[in-house]
Chain A
Amino acid sequence: MEGREFDAQVVLSPKDSPLGQVLDRYVCVRVVRMDDVNIGLFDRDWNNAIYFFVLNADEQIYMRYGGRESESPDTYNSLDSLRIALEQGLALHQKYLGGSLPTEPRPKPRFPREMPLLVARTFAQNQCVECHLIGDFQNIQRDRDGVLDKLTHLYRSPDIKTIGIFLDVPKGLVVKQTTGAVAAAGLKPGDRITSWNGVPVWTFGDVQYRYDKVDRHAKSIKIGIDRGGHATELTVELPPRWWWTDLRFRQSSVEPRTDFEDRPLTADQKQRLGLKTDGFASEVKYIPQMTKVRGTHDLRVGDVVAAVNGVESDALANTADLYLKLYLKAGESAKLDVIRAGKRITLPIHTYSLSFRK
């Protein structure tokens, strides 16, 4: 189960351990049912099975701790970084008690019982309101209401590794290694990230939450850092598809399932096949076994999908699969232009939505 070991390590911390000594200065509460949680105040990416907030008795949130990447739910969980975060939380609390901590506008309260789909399909059947269901039903409702913004609502929690940030996880927001966009902007190993687009951040959970709030069409972000005691701010030019993450660990059910995985062709490969170099032509790399049973398509591994419904290029998509996910609704069909063994053929694809148990 996601986060089980970390959960146990935190909750069963001996009082005399480094973490236990800090926890003793907090009122610790562990909530396992989401039924009555104010999801407006405690907004987050709901595909995290373990997540922490540090706040005060007036429900002013100081920081978040948690968050995951597609590859693993536990990459950013560490007892050391939690202890560092909680020590920073104590300092913020002293400011609050002294009246010097700035306040933010409080989000509108919202509760799971106000979500019609959750009421009908979970509460009414006396089932547990699992965290991911809140996110799933939010997206299903948005889809029904025609307000689903796929870039923002499907591709939640952009991955900081995509822009080249690799953290020294036990040290919190201290950078271990940089590549790509952030390296070009001047971020260096040993820097400590202190703000994200002007908002102070204390943990990876804060960074991921603030990164998720960035407009998906933004061209740059500002990252505040502490370098050897000196504060500075870097402007990072965002690369194409900085927002993209692997959706496979999510059960969101609203994106069209395509039953294939692909990789973009290189410019040279496209040229050799006589395709547009700026197109999203991609090679099929994997097809699930159940595809035939579902009747999704007749693609084969090695096929090149050159176009979808006659479209070969797109400002956002770099593969045919991404194009389908961005522009089709689950259940819709499309026509694929496919190159198989040097010959062009046309194949239909019938997408579907994932049906999950609740």
Chain B
Amino acid sequence: MIRLIALIAFLSPVAFAQEQLTDWLSDYREALKVAKQTSKPILLEFRCEA
């Protein structure tokens, strides 16, 4: 049953939509490495959620 629910959720339009969202990292050091490897610039967002 759980597998069925997971499958339905995975195949739902919402799941498809979520896969099309922009990719965001959460580790600044990793972003520097990826930017080096890909020659892309970095967009760094500081978000204070408190």
Q: Which residues of B contact A23 (CB under 8 A)?
A: 22, 43
Q: Which residues of A contact B43 (CB under 8 A)?
A: 23, 26-29, 52-54, 86, 89
Contact yes or no, A28 B45, CB < 8 A: yes
Contact yes or no, A89 B41, CB < 8 A: yes
Contact yes or no, A54 B47, CB < 8 A: no
- A15, A20, A29: residue with the most chain B Cβ atoms closer than 10 Å: A29
Q: Which residues of B contact A32 (CB under 8 A)?
A: 26, 47-49
Question: Which interface class (under 10, 10 to 19, 20 to 34, 35 or more) fits A?
Answer: 35 or more
Contact yes or no, B45 A50, CB < 8 A: yes
Q: Which residues of B contact A51 (CB under 8 A)?
A: 45-46
Q: Identify the closest chain B residue to A56 (Cβ).
A: B41
The residues in B between 16 and 50 inclusive whose CB is less than 8 angstroms from any CB of A are 17, 20-28, 30-36, 38-50
Once A11-B24, A14-B21, A89-B41 are accepted as A-B contacts, the answer to whether A30 and B32 lie under 8 Å apart by CB is no
Q: Which residues of B contact A49 (CB under 8 A)?
A: 47-49
Contact yes or no, A62 B41, CB < 8 A: yes
Q: Identify the closest chain B residue to A38 (Cβ).
A: B28
Contact yes or no, A12 B21, CB < 8 A: yes
Contact yes or no, B46 A131, CB < 8 A: yes
- A304-B3 Cα distance, complex, nearest whole Å: 74
Q: Identify the closest chain B residue to A13 (Cβ).
A: B22
Q: Which residues of B contact A12 (CB under 8 A)?
A: 21-22
Q: Which residues of A contact B33 (CB under 8 A)?
A: 57
- A131-B47 Cα distance, complex, nearest whole Å: 8
Shortest C-beta distance, B48 to chain A (Å), equals 4
Q: Which residues of A contact B21 (CB under 8 A)?
A: 11-15, 20
Once A29-B44, A30-B45, A52-B46 are accepted as A-B contacts, the answer to whether A15 and B20 lie under 8 Å apart by CB is yes
Q: Identify the closest chain B residue to A94 (Cβ).
A: B41
What is the total number of residues of chain B having a CB less than 8 Å from a CB of chain A?
Answer: 30
Contact yes or no, B49 A29, CB < 8 A: no
- A10-B41 Cα distance, complex, nearest whole Å: 17
Q: Identify the closest chain A residue to B48 (Cβ).
A: A131
A293 within 8 A of B: no
- A1-B50 Cα distance, complex, nearest whole Å: 8
- A53-B47 Cα distance, complex, nearest whole Å: 12
Contact yes or no, A7 B47, CB < 8 A: yes
Partner of B42 from the list A10, A15, A20, A56 (CB cut-off 8 Å) is: A56
The residues in A between 59 and 94 inclusive whose CB is less than 8 angstroms from any CB of B are 59, 62, 86, 89-90, 92-93
The residues in A between 1 and 59 inclusive whose CB is less than 8 angstroms from any CB of B are 1, 3, 7, 10-16, 20, 23-32, 34, 37, 42, 49-57, 59
Shortest C-beta distance, B27 to chain A (Å), equals 7
Partner of B46 from the list A11, A37, A93, A97 (CB cut-off 8 Å) is: A37
Q: Identify the closest chain A residue to B44 (Cβ).
A: A53
- A20-B43 Cα distance, complex, nearest whole Å: 12
A110 within 8 A of B: no
Shortest C-beta distance, A296 to chain B (Å), equals 29
Q: A residues engaging B (CB < 8 A)?
A: 1, 3, 7, 10-16, 20, 23-32, 34, 37, 42, 49-57, 59, 62, 86, 89-90, 92-93, 96-97, 128, 130-132
Pick 8 A–B contacts, CB within 8 A, sort by A: A20-B22, A26-B43, A28-B43, A31-B44, A32-B26, A34-B46, A53-B43, A59-B32
Q: Given A16-B20, A27-B42, A28-B31, 13 more contacts at CB 8 Å?
A: A3-B47, A25-B40, A27-B31, A27-B38, A30-B47, A32-B26, A49-B49, A50-B46, A50-B48, A52-B45, A54-B43, A92-B41, A131-B48
